[in-house]
Amino acid sequence: MIICQVERLGLVDYAEGLELQKRLVAQRKAHATSDTLLLLEHPHVYTLGRNARRENLLVTPEFLRKIEAQVIETDRGGDITYHGPGQLVGYPIFDLTQHRRDVAWYMRSLEEVFIRVTGDFGVQAARIAGLTGVWVGDEKILALGVHITRWITSHGFAFNVNTDLRYFEWIIPCGLREKGVTSLKKLLGRSIGMEEVIDRVTERFGEVFGMEMRMGSAPVPAHDERAISSEEVDL
């Protein structure tokens, strides 16, 4: 069975999270570490994927300073989204050659994890044909944006648990004007313990991807300069 190390990192600056992913991707390409799932939260930040349109950010730099939110361009796929406290962000660093070399399968599997997780909390969620993510009605509860190079995955998902949804009002999330955003807190009318959510997510990842999930606090391996490739997929 494939081993996946799960790292619960708490609140991590977005730029620091990017660097951590880069190091782990290099290690995974070099077969120097196992599959890893990073679970964390970010301070307020808007991220722009490779397909992002700047006009989907609806506020001025002055307003961004007022709400203490950064704007960062990334190499993931997709348009603009928001990350902040109360939102569970996950970065799977997986070698898909050990799973299935199928990008669509990977995306649908990520969605399946969170359809099951929301069900664990009594919320019925589903896919919407032609769109990525997980939805409750016409409101998105899970956003996906991934980067894949030589079948090694990075970036990943953002799951709205106790997210302050006001921050989505200042963007057009994922470039979709006609859709809304929701959270477990909004749907259930109460805050949800993040550790309980992380436990559920870890369990469901193991089920859907057929992995043995091991909780770890080991230091992240040092950067390995090997295994550079220009073959990339963004979704």
Confidence of residue 124 (pLDDT cuts 50, 70, 90): very high
State how far the Cα of 36 lies from the Cα of 27, in Å rounded to an integer: 11
CA atoms of 157 and 20, how far apart (whole Å): 16
What are the catalytic residues? 174
Which pTM does this prediction carry?
Answer: 0.91
Whole-number pLDDT of residue 174: 80
Cα 21 → chain centroid: 12
Domains located in the chain, CATH noted: 2-234 (3.30.930.10)
Distance between CA atoms of 110 and 209, rounded to whole angstroms? 9
Q: Which range among 35-44, 157-166, 185-194, 208-217 shows the weakest confidence by mean pLDDT?
A: 208-217
pLDDT (average), residues 5-19: 97
For a pLDDT cut of 90, what percent of the chain falls above it? 83
Q: What is the pLDDT of residue 169?
A: 94
Question: What letter does residue 59 receive in the DSSP assignment?
Answer: S
pLDDT on residue 235: 53
Q: What is the pLDDT of residue 57?
A: 94
Of 142, 77, 82, nearest to 108 by C-alpha is 142
Rounded CA-CA distance 13/72 in Å is: 11
pLDDT digits (tens, 9 = 90+) for 85-122: 999 999 999 999 999 999 999 999 999 999 999 999 99
